[in-house]
Structure 1
Amino acid sequence: MNSQKILFGFMPATLIWGYIAIAIFMAGDGFELAFLSKYITNMGFSQEQATFVFTVYAFAAAIAAWSSGVIAEIITPQKAMFTGFAIWVIFHILFMTLGIGLHSYPLIVIFYGLRGFGYPLFIYSFIILLIHNLPASKISTAMGWFWAAYSIGLGTIGGLLPGFTNTSIGEHGTLWLALIWVAVGGLLALFTLRKVKISEDKANLSTSEKLHELTKAITILFTNKYIFMSALIRIINTIPLFGVAIIMPWFLEGDPKHNIAGLGFSNEEWQQIWALFLTITIFTNILWGIMGDHIGWLKQVRWVGCFCGIFSCLSFYYVPIYFGHNYYAAMIPAVLLGITVAAFVPMTAVFTTLEPNHQGAAVSIYNLSASLSQSVAAIIAGLVIGIWGVSGVLWTYAALYVFAAILTYFIKVEQPKITKLAKN
């Protein structure tokens, strides 16, 4: 590790701007998350077409997330971050001018989908930069701050600000505003991280050796059944998170084109509810990260994440149905899901403990699973909503939590601290 000033007991001074850049970048990236589905249907496209746009985007993001670690080590993290930044900016401009601007559904799908390669390459390459500049004993702390920066950007700023800008400059203007935020975050990282040093070990590997290690990020799914089951649990983990972002604007605000009356909520109210949920996860991620070490990783995932998650998921339908247009009552599901969805935090430790000799490949599978979650959420919403409506989508998500809870009983993982306490 390079000799450099350390802030807050763990953070290299040269990297502090990277955290700030991640927060700003992800704020811009998250502006459209809670309203784009309804914006597309308001243009005259169907709900199924809107969900397909998210599906394509999510698959692109999954590929980028899975490959970002290797790419960052091959071309350096800084160059990989710049590549992700450039991809996001170029295809967002094309998405806005040729896709949205011309009301062309094929171009919306193509350019928004290609934009999906941008953000994972940008943010996950920064993780490689952290690993190269921090001792192993500080990586966990650094990653806690990384996800906090991610959540502050995507959740607090990205979720709350559009509720106001949609009213003042319109949803179209908010989509252009996102470009400015991403540009600021990307350029900030570009200029402040350019001189940060990295290890040359991976860069010196031959191309065949790098490709061989990359293949392990797929083969361990078939050679380690526990990794496979863990991947399914991680996919299910955030399906409701992405799913409610798609379906709740239709449910709460209404969608006359598809015979959904709505409950009288405004887009600003929904944006604030969404921002509350994402803000809560900043604190619950820290809470459940600590608690998991004491009560058991999978035990926490099973009871808090899965079984309690069933109730938090269904509350998104039944609480608004019971209370109607009650802004404060509608916050209850957001609070509940913010508590339960974060209980899956120990899954990162589960993955790396299950593959101690190939932790990089295990993390790649974790990233791939996390990214696929958005795709699966969109696919389910698109297939189910036309048949059983919003309630059917949420019941499907709840059923997946039951399945995930069952899987936790079959995964055998030795948690060091719990094992040590048991022996004593």
Structure 2
Amino acid sequence: MSTTTTIRGRGERGSGLIERLGLPKELIWGFVGLLLFMIGDGVESGYIAPYLAQHGAGSETNAAVIIAVYGLLVTIGSWLAGALSDVWGPRRVMTIGLALWAVLQVLFLSVALPAENFTLMLVIYGLRGIAYPFFAYGFLVWVLGASRSHRLGSAVGWFYFAFTGGLPTLGSLVASGTEPLIGPYWTFWVALGLVIAGGFVSLIGLRHARGGGRLAAPDVSTGSSMFNSVAVAFKNPRVGLGCLVRVVNTAPQFGLFVFFPTVFAGDLGFGTAGWLQLVFILGAANIFANLFFGVLSDRLGWHRTLRWFGCIGSAVTILLFYFLPQYVGDQYWVSAVCAALFGITLAGFTPISVLMSLMAPGQKGNAIAVLNLGAGAATFVGPLIVAVFLVPLGATGVIIIFAALYVLAGVSVRWLTVPEEAQELGEAGLPLDAVNSDVKSKDT
């Protein structure tokens, strides 16, 4: 085993500005299309819950049920995107995701909403939750397979720049402009147009790019790939540990959304609008920090970036985010700075995607499937911690638990080692799909 945290390329000849920024030139239209797709997917994020409650769901509780089912399907879709990309290829998985999103959105808008039928809304909107992970995380597998080994951190940084730039940031911004002009219902149709446009930009722009085909060995079936996407976490404990680190990445963020509105909107007197602005600041800072830490990690090292900026940095900033605003009182700018710092350090976890893809070099798609499971699990682990500990320990106790989880994640990074064969084959800056191919041939 090796604890080397980055793979350097030798003689990177003829690299232009795009390559120096860490953006894989042959995948550039994929990133543009992903941004457009995620803007479309994020259009509804700011108003979908109240809209459903007023147009067929019957109550806020029923609307929450619909969104919870949607979230569950997002988690399942995130896992399947990685597992199926191995045997079907990222291009096919992305195409299925685009088709599912478009068809189910049309059914949702032309059948379920006009009928104001709760059951139809639950089924159709819930199923649509599979669609965007197929498209987005299928492309992530493609990025990790086609990018040069010593530029993986930068490439992943660009992926999350496009992903989070669209959902929810620019998506919500689009909705804020169209909703007053054409209303919320027709804004849903605008979202459909953006998603279709983004899907076609990606798939047409990537038609000649390598890495879009089958990744697994010829004898690997769909069923065995799905089984291996779970088994790999147990057969390769490093992959399982990486999944837990990914859970820790955003579980506290989702947990904060449960009780921080009370702290900032109520206790500190900033109101709901003030709290929502803090959420926007956190997200906006995170978007650009994803890109920054992706590029930085290729130079500083993936492990160092993850440990010190992601894990330890988030432990410090989450404590600042809670304690400092209460100490200074009604100084809103202090809260804004703390929100931005927390968003920035959350982006320090960007290298976990790189490490997961390298720790199981012959099962890249399966490793990313496990990573996506961790991302989905974070959405309920964080609120669960709040539900269990908020009453007995109070908000201060919950924040300390979250900070301690970040510290434990930082300690565990030392065991996220890259196999020597993947490191050695990547020394020349090979794309990861070539590294995977060589590792598989050695295994056989």
TM-score normalized with structure 2 length: 0.72
Q: Deviations over 1:97-122 (max 9, x none)?
A: 44443333333322221111111111
Please state whether the residue corresponding to 1:206 is helix, strand or coil: coil
* Alpha-carbon distance in 2 for matches of 1:363, 1:84: 17
Distance (Å, rounded) in 2 between the aligned partners of 1:327 and 1:93: 43
Whether 2:18 is the aligned partner of 1:8: answer yes
Shift of 1:238: 1.8
- Residue correspondence of structure 1 range 117-128 to structure 2 within 5 A: 117-128=130-141
Q: CA deviation at 1:85?
A: 0.6
| 8 Å Cα contact 1:6/1:12 also seen in 2 | no
Give yes or no for the alignment of 1:28 onto 2:40: yes
Instruction: Identify which of 64, 69, 88 aligns with 2:101.
Output: 88
In structure 1, C-alpha distance between the alignment counterparts of 2:121 and 2:147, rounded to whole Å = 41
Report how far residue 155 of structure 1 moved: 4.3
* TM alignment of 1:252-271, pairs within 5 A: 265=272
Q: Tell me the equivalent position of 1:367.
A: 372
State the distance in 2 between where 1:55 and 1:359 align: 29
Matches within 5 A, 1:239-250: 239-242=251-254
The amino acid that maps onto 1:115 is R
Identify the residue that residue 409 of structure 1 maps to in structure 2.
Answer: 411
Structure 1: how far apart are the matches of 2:36 and 2:136?
A: 11
Instruction: Give CA-to-partner distance per residue, 1:374-404, whole Å, 9 cap, x none.
Output: 35457778x68xx97xx97997576344334
Kept in 2: contact 1:55–1:379 (CA 8 A): no
Gaps of 5+ in 1: 255-261, 417-424
Among all aligned residue pairs of Structure 1 and Structure 2, give the percentage whose two residues are the same amino acid.
Answer: 26
Flag the 1:302–1:157 CA change in 2: closer, same or farther, 3 A: closer
Measured on the aligned residues, the alpha-carbon RMSD in Å equals 4.2
Letter in 1 for 2:218: L
Per-residue deviation, 1:14: 4.7
* SS of equivalent residue, structure 1 residue 194: coil
Q: Give the partner amino acid of 2:34.
A: I
Residue 275 and residue 159 in structure 1: after superposition, are their counterparts in 2 closer, same or farther (change >3 A)?
farther
Name the counterpart of 1:71: 84
How far residue 264 of structure 1 moved from its aligned partner, in angstroms, is 5.1
Match of 1:189 among 202, 218, 222: 202
Matches within 5 A, 1:7-406: 8-9=18-19, 13-41=25-53, 47-131=60-144, 133-198=146-211, 202=215, 205-208=218-221, 211-242=223-254, 265=272, 273-289=278-294, 290=296, 293=301, 295=304, 297-312=306-321, 314=322, 323=330, 331-332=336-337, 334-352=339-357, 354-355=359-360, 358-376=363-381, 396=398, 399-406=401-408
Does the CA-based 8 Å contact 2:84-2:225 persist in structure 1?
A: no
The verdict on how the C-alpha distance between 1:20 and 1:331 changes in structure 2, with shifts beyond 3 A counting, is same
Question: How far is 1:82 from its partner?
Answer: 1.7
- d(CA) in 2 for partners of 1:36 and 1:270? 19
Please, which runs of 5 or more residues in structure 2 have no aligned partner? 1-13, 419-444
